[in-house]
Amino acid sequence: MEINKSSDSINQTKKMKRKKFFLTSAFAAAGIFTFTKFPFGILKAKVLNEKKSSLKITENPNAVKRKSNRYGNA
């Protein structure tokens, strides 16, 4: 019995109080809500800007290509 008592008391101290539980839950919900609604677009816009500035490959329109790499194209 002593042992059980002592165990109960330990569990009791570890238990979260109802009030604290609700408080924590509310904060967590608010946190998740904020996180999901956070305007990541700001960051995304930055990323897109970076992408825009990343390498773009275009052939020069004024260059003249050859038919093949063999001799006699001249």
Partner 1 sequence: MQSKENQTDTEMHDKVYDISDKIYKDSNEVSLESIVPEAPTKDVNYWRSFRELYSDPDFIKERENEFSKDALERPDIEEGSKFSRRKFLALLSASAAVAASGCSNFRDRGEIVPYNAKPDSVTIGLPNYYASTCTGCSSACGILIKTLQGRPIKVDGNPDHPVSKGKICAIAQASVMSLYDPERLKNPVERTDKTSPKEISWGDADDAIIAQLKNAASSGKEIAVVAGKIISPSQKKLLEDFVKAFPTAKVYSYELYNDSAKNAAWEKCYGSKYYPPVQLDKAMIILSLEADFLGSDGNKVVNSRLFAANRDTETEGKFNRLYSVEGNASVTGLNADYRLILKTDLLEEFVLSLLNELLLVQKKSALAQDEAVLSKIRNFNLDNFASKNNLKKEVLDHLISDFGQNAGKSFVIAGNMLPESTHIAVNLLNEVIGGNELYSFKDAFIEHQPMSSKADIENLVSDMNSGKAGIVIHFDTNPVYNMPGDSGYAEALKKVPLVITMSEGINETCESGNYVLPVNTMFESWGDYRTRSDFYSLQQPVISPLYNTRQKEEILLTWIKGSKNEFNNEIYHSYIIDNWKAGVFTNVSGDKEFMKQWYAALNDGVVMTNAGTAQSSGEAEPAFKADAFTGINQRMTAGTGMTVVLSKSNTLDDGRFANNGWLQELPNPITKIVWDNYAAISPKTAKSLNIESNDLVKITTNGGTLELPVFVQPGMADDMTVIDLGYGRSACGIVGKDVGFNSVKLISKNSSLTPFLYSDAKMEKSSGTHKLVTTQDHYAFEEKLYKDIQYRREIIQEGTYLQYKKNPDFLSDRHTKYTEEEKEKLKVGSINEQYVHTGTKWGMVIDLNKCTGCNECIAACNVENNIPVVGKEQMGKHRSMHWMRIDRYYSGTPEVPKASFQPMLCQHCDFAPCENVCPVAATTHTPDGINAMAYNRCVGTRYCSNNCPYKVRRFNYFNFRDHFREGIQQEESFSLMQNPEVTVRSRGVMEKCTFCLQRIMLERQHAIEENRQVKGSNVKTACQEACNTNAIYFGDQNDETDPISGLNKSKLAYYVLEEIKVKPNITYLAKLRNVYETEETGSH
Q: In whole angstroms, how close is the CB of 6 to partner 1 at the nearest point?
A: 30
- Residue pair 64/56 in contact by the 8 Å Cβ criterion: no
For partner 1, the closer of residues 3 and 74 by Cβ is: 74
Residue 20 falls in which region: left (phi positive, over 0), alpha (psi -120 to 50) or beta: alpha
Amino acid symbol at 37: K
CB contact set of 73 (below 8 Å; sequence gap of 6+) = 66, 67
For partner 1, the closer of residues 1 and 64 by Cβ is: 64
Q: In whole angstroms, how close is the CB of 15 to partner 1 at the nearest point?
A: 25
For partner 1, the closer of residues 13 and 54 by Cβ is: 54
Q: Which residues bind partner 1 (CB under 8 A)?
A: 32, 35-36, 40, 54-60, 62-74
Looking up tokens 């008391």 gives 9
Q: In whole angstroms, how close is the CB of 14 to partner 1 at the nearest point?
A: 21
